[in-house]
Each structure stands twice: as C-alpha cells, then as structure tokens.
Amino acid sequence: MKRQSLVTMLLILALLSMATPATAAPKEPVGDRIGVYYGGSMEFPAGAPFHILHGWILSSAGDANGIYDFELEVDGVPRKKDFKMFWVESGDPDILQRRWVHNFPNGMTGTHTFTGHWFSPCQPAVDNGIYPGPCATPNEKVETLTQTLTVTFVP
C-alpha cells in the first residue's frame, strides 16, 4: 500500500512539473464598436457587449508622439482604458497607430453619454489646423477635439 501511494505521489509530482502555465489570451476589443468621433445619438441593444476604440494615426517622423492621448467619460465620469493597442506600419516614414480601448463586456441599459477627448502636442496641432494656438511650448499637451455621443440601449 505504501509503495502504491509513493508511486501515485511521484506520478502526480511528475505531471505537475511538466505542466506549463496557461498563457493569457491577448487583449482584444469585445462586441461591436461604438464610435464617439462624430457625436450625435444612436440606439444599441441593451446588455450586448461593445467597445469604444479611438486614437491617432501618426508619422513616426513626428516629435513628441508619446503626448498623443485619448480619454473617455461615461455620463461625465472619467473611465480608465482597458488597454492600449500600439503598432507600426512600415513606410517612408513609418506610420504609428495608437489606439485606446474601453471594453463594456456586459453591455449597458438605459441612456448614457460618452464623451471622447483627443489630446496632442500643441505645435503639430496648430500646424495641422486642429488647434488655434498659441502654444506655451511646442510639446504642450492640448485638447484638440471633444465629441459627445448619446446612446440609448434598447431591449
């Protein structure tokens, strides 16, 4: 009996030592995308998962690319991002994609407002005509766009 218990215990230890830790699934947006960029109002199914994904497409040749940002408010309350998606597309110059993802895996009910805030360094925003200036410093973080979308989640 002792020998059988010892063999069983050794087999269990061997199996445990061979097991590899589970790898977390990659971070991904859930459900359909709701876009805030154009503002306005819309209906969406109540309780259905969705995500809000916004950000910037930038030239890698630009300065201060780390200052570009996107923030979201839900019903006037800031909401932390779930994760960021950054990648580079080869070119001359390379193109940087910077996206902030806000997942709502359980959906919502009722009517809610989603306000997106886009930020960039001041001087590139002035140069591209999306901020009037003047700039205290070229890399001063300024809000270049604010849009509000009202969503009614219908049963």
Domain containing 42: what range? 34-154
Tokens describing residue 3: 């020998």
- Beta-carbon count within 10 A of 20 CB: 5
Q: What's 47's domain CATH number?
A: 2.60.40
The answer to whether the beta carbons of residues 13 and 121 sit under 8 Å apart is: no
Cα radius of gyration rounded to whole Å, the chain:
24
pTM for this model (two decimals): 0.80
Q: Is residue 123 part of a domain?
A: yes
Q: Each residue of 10-27: pLDDT tens digit? A: 333 333 333 333 333 568
> 89-146: per-residue pLDDT in tens?
998 889 999 999 999 999 999 999 999 999 999 999 999 999 999 999 999 999 999 9
Residue 16 falls within a domain, yes or no?
Answer: no
Question: Does residue 82 fall inside a structural domain?
Answer: yes
Number of domains in the chain: 1
- The answer as to whether 12 is a domain residue is no
CA–CA separation, 96 and 124 (whole Å): 15
Whether 1 is in a domain gets the answer: no
Contacts of 16 (CB under 8 A, 6+ apart): none
110 falls within a domain: yes
